[in-house]
Chain A
Amino acid sequence: MSTFPAIRFNVNGEDREVRVAPMKRLLDVLREDLGLTGSKEGCGEGECGSCSVRMNGELVNSCLVPVLQAEGASVQTVEGLAAAGKMHPLQEAFLQCGGAQCGICTPGMLMAATQLLSVNAHPTMTEIREGLAGNLCRCTGFTRIFESVIAATAKNREERIEEPAHAR
């Protein structure tokens, strides 16, 4: 089984190499081969957004990416949000505003919100709703999640959220 050629890509700033079937889903490679279990599997068909990660600065459902298509890419997962032991402003805001309950959707919500703020530092409520429209939550009723993003953008006004270099 280890006869597969190497597939190399960067995850959260670190160069990684896996030898797995090229049709293995990026989600499964992250969780099983790289031990990054932050990204969750909800539906497995691109409907729920629990597996959202950023690939080359774009939001993708990692359950729909065959790992070969991540070759050479920069991937950012929820594990890559906190830096130097300090939570990302979005994570802090989710914590403060009750944006997370059971936690299954949270990593995907955080990545979708990170993507949104990377292209639009001060989104309107409509833009937040669109940015997170592909992410389902069965606990919060969404309101607290949207409030968390708004709280983070307020923070953003004070101390501009700097993206880690590898996520750009």
Chain B
Amino acid sequence: MRGNPDAHELIAPGNLDSVLELLAKEPSEWTPIAGGTEIMVAHAAGRLGAKKLVSLWGIDELRFIKEKEASITIGAGATFRDLRAHPGIGVKLPLLAMAASWIGCIANQSRATLGGNLVNGSPAADSSPALLVYDAEIELASVRGRRRIPYSAFHTGYKRNAMLPDELLFAVHLPLRFAEQRHYLRKVGTRRAMAISKVALAATAWLEDGLIREVRLGAASLAPFPMRLVETEVALLGRALNAESIQLACAALQKEAKPIDDIRSTGAYRKRVAINLLTEFLTALATEGQGR
């Protein structure tokens, strides 16, 4: 333990309004901490810059999953164990349930929250590719009220996001219109448990009369933040799925992906694997034939 607990203030107001008032009164002064699976690692290493922390753990207003006919709303404080245990998510948002099951291990999943995963903003975030292909919306809260933005517009740069200093990530809204589309998600990492992904690719697609009517591709670790592969999607839209269109999509991905070399992998390897994953998804899609 290289960090000094005495050097950090931590308070737990216990309800959402008090947290928002604190963020409004002293914007940028307070760092929210939920399950601590990122912040406490930095703390132990002695590299936690935040001097004032406000705990979100135990605030019931943030820890919920609400299912309606056309959408599921997940509170920012829901843990990945909560996500895995929810029957609606397993059936209607299977990619998110899968992603939740391979984040860290059981002990991490008991504490790590969906909101924390997104605000932390790692380019390799496990929940992000699934949220991108499900057209997730982010609801932000502040004393000024609530606002919603598409998740695809949430990350704005490496570890940067669209939140204002007095805002807190409140919830993630997921429309259920993808339930009948083709789904794909694969993470490539060093080992099954605990590993942070080298690359991950998620996809949803709708084929009609042999043509690609809709396709969404969400990737981790191909850019400074998790992102939709819009140019690759455009290369596929409206086309018949065959060897030629698969090749076109791979060429588009080759241009669009901008992975880096780092401790976990190289950019060249990541790009190659991303193309392999895309090929795997599209080939399966072509073989399975039509259908939503």
Contact indicator B107/A46 (Cβ below 8 Å): yes
| Chain A residues positioned under 8 Å from B11 (CB to CB) | 22, 68
In the complex formed, the residue of A with least CB distance to B8 is A23
Interface 9-mer from B40-48, B162-170, B283-291: B40-48
Give Cα distance in the complex from A23 to B53, angstroms.
9
Contact across chains for A66 and B55 when beta carbons are under 8 A apart:
yes
Q: Collect the chain B residues with CB atoms within 8 Å of residue A21's CB.
A: 5-6, 8, 10
Q: Mark A69-82, 1 if CB is under 8 A from B, else 0.
A: 10100000000000
Residue of A nearest to B41 (CB): A45
Number of interface residues, chain A, beta carbon within 8 A: 34
Given contacts A22-B10, A44-B44, contact A49 B107 (CB under 8 A): yes
| A25 at interface by CB-CB < 8 Å | yes
Q: Within A52-71, which residues are at the interface with B (CB < 8 Å)?
A: 52, 58-61, 63-66, 68-69, 71
Task: Tell whether A23 pairs with B41 under 8 Å between CB atoms, given A68-B55, A71-B12, A133-B106.
Answer: no
Chain A residues whose CB sits within 8 angstroms of the CB of B3 once the complex forms: 23
Asked whether any CB of chain B lies closer than 8 Å to the CB of A163, the reply is no
Q: Indicate if B58 sits at the interface (CB-CB under 8 A).
A: yes
* Residues in A neighbouring B161, C-beta threshold 8 A: none
Which residues of the partner chain A approach B264 to less than 8 Å between Cβ atoms?
none
Q: In whole Å, how far is B80's beta carbon from the nearest beta carbon of chain A?
A: 11
8 Å CB contacts to A: which residues of B15-66? Answer: 33, 35-37, 40-41, 43-45, 53, 55, 57-58
Q: Which of A45, A68, A130 contacts B44 (CB 8 A)?
A: A45
Q: Is the CB of B40 within 8 A of A65?
A: yes
Question: Are A45 and B45 in touch, CB under 8 angstroms?
Answer: yes
Residues of B within 8 A of A44 (CB): 1, 41, 44-45
User: CB distance A130 to B106 under 8 Å?
Assistant: yes
Beta-carbon contact of B5 and A23 below 8 Å: yes
**Is the C-beta of A47 less than 8 angstroms from some C-beta in chain B?**
yes
Could you mark each residue 16-58 of chain A with 1 if its beta carbon is under 8 Å from any beta carbon of chain B, else 0? 0000111111001000000000000100111101001000001
Residues of B within 8 A of A130 (CB): 106, 193
Q: In the docked arrangement, what's the CA distance between A64 and B107, Å?
A: 10
Determine the chain B residues whose CB is within 8 A of the CB of A115 once the complex forms.
106
B110 within 8 A of A: yes
Cβ-defined contact, A66 with B40, below 8 A: yes
Q: Which B residues touch A165, using CB under 8 A? A: none
- Cα distance A58–B63 in the bound complex, in angstroms: 15
Which A residue's beta carbon lies closest to that of B53?
A: A23
Question: Across the interface, do A46 and B108 meet the contact criterion of CB distance under 8 Å?
Answer: yes
Of the residues A1, A64, A66, A134, contact of B41 by C-beta under 8 Å: A64
CB distance from A18 to the nearest CB of B (A): 12
8 of the cross-chain contacts (CB-CB < 8 Å) are A21-B6, A23-B3, A49-B105, A58-B81, A64-B111, A66-B55, A112-B106, A135-B105
Extra contacts besides A63-B40, A66-B55, A133-B105 (11): CB < 8 Å: A21-B5, A21-B10, A23-B10, A23-B53, A24-B5, A28-B1, A46-B108, A59-B110, A61-B111, A134-B193, A134-B194
A residues adjacent to B (C-beta < 8 A): 1, 20-25, 28, 41, 44-47, 49, 52, 58-61, 63-66, 68-69, 71, 112, 115-116, 130-131, 133-135
Residues of B within 8 A of A (CB): 1, 3, 5-6, 8-12, 33, 35-37, 40-41, 43-45, 53, 55, 57-58, 81, 104-108, 110-111, 192-194
